[in-house]
A and B are shown apart, each in its own frame.
Chain A
Amino acid sequence: MNVIDYVFQQLVNAVSLGSLYALIAVGLSLVFGILNLINFAHGDMMMVGAFAALLLESAGVPFPLALLGGVVFGGAAGFVMERAAFRPVRGAPDVTMLLTSLGVTYILENLGILLFSASPRNFPLPVWLGHVYKLAGGRITFTNINLLTLVFSVLAFLFLYWFVTRTGVGLGMRATAEDLVAARLVGVRVNLVVVVAFVLASAFAGLAGLLWAAQVGVAYPLMGFTPMLKSFVAAIIGGFGTIEGALLGGYVLGALEIAIVAFLPPSVSPYRDALVFALLIVLLLFRPGGIINVRREVKL
Chain B
Amino acid sequence: MPEMLALDALTVSYGPVAALKGIDLVVQEGEAVALLGANGAGKSTTLRTVSGIVRPRRGGVRYRGKDIGRLDPGEIVGLGVAHCPEGRRVFAGMTVLENLKLGASRRRDEAGVRQDIARMEELFPVLGERRQQRAGTLSGGEQQMLAIARALMSRPRLLLLDEPSLGLAPLLVETIFDTLAELKRQGVTLLLVEQNARVALDLVDRALVLRTGNVVASGGAEELKRDPQVVEAYLGGGR
A contact set with B: CB distance below 8 Å:
165, 168, 171-172, 174-175, 178-179, 181-190, 299
Contact = CB atoms under 8 A, between A and B. Distances in A.
Contact of B85 (A168, A178, A181): A181
A171 B102 contact: yes
B150 interface: yes
Interface stretch (B16-24, B73-81, B217-225): B73-81
Interface string B191-210: 00000000000000000000
Interface of chain A: mostly helix, strand, loop or mixed: helix
Given A172-B105, A185-B83, A188-B102, A178 B74 contact: no
A12 B106 CA distance: 46
B78 A187 contact: yes
Nearest to A299: B89
Nearest to B95: A165
B105 A186 contact: yes
B105 A189 contact: yes
Interface string B135-162: 0000000000000001101100000000
Contact of B98 (A171, A181, A183, A185): A171
Given A184-B53, A189-B74, 17 more contacts: A171-B94, A174-B98, A175-B91, A178-B91, A181-B89, A183-B91, A184-B52, A185-B85, A186-B105, A186-B151, A186-B153, A187-B78, A187-B105, A187-B106, A187-B154, A188-B74, A190-B74
A174 B93 contact: yes
A186 B77 contact: yes
14 contacts: A171-B94, A171-B102, A175-B91, A178-B93, A178-B94, A181-B53, A181-B85, A182-B90, A185-B53, A185-B77, A186-B105, A187-B73, A187-B74, A187-B154
B38 interface: no
B233 interface: no
B101 interface: yes
Give 4 closest A-B pairs by Cβ, nearest first. A187-B77, A187-B106, A182-B89, A187-B105
Nearest to B74: A187
B101 A171 contact: yes
Contact of B74 (A171, A181, A182, A184): A184
Contact of B91 (A168, A174, A187, A189): A174
A32 B151 CA distance: 27
Nearest to A181: B53
B51 interface: yes
Given A171-B98, A181-B53, A182-B85, A188 B91 contact: no
A186 B156 CA distance: 11
A44 to B, nearest CB: 30
B168 to A, nearest CB: 19
A182 B91 contact: yes
Contacts of B102: 171-172, 175, 183, 186, 188
B37 interface: no
B92 interface: yes
Contacts of A299: 89
Contacts of A179: 89, 91
B103 interface: yes
Contacts of B90: 182
A185 B147 CA distance: 11
A101 B83 CA distance: 35
Interface in B80-130: 82-83, 85, 89-94, 98, 101-103, 105-106
A87 to B, nearest CB: 15
A171 B153 CA distance: 15
A178 B135 CA distance: 12
Contacts of A190: 74
Contacts of A186: 77, 82, 102-103, 105, 150-151, 153-154
Nearest to B87: A299
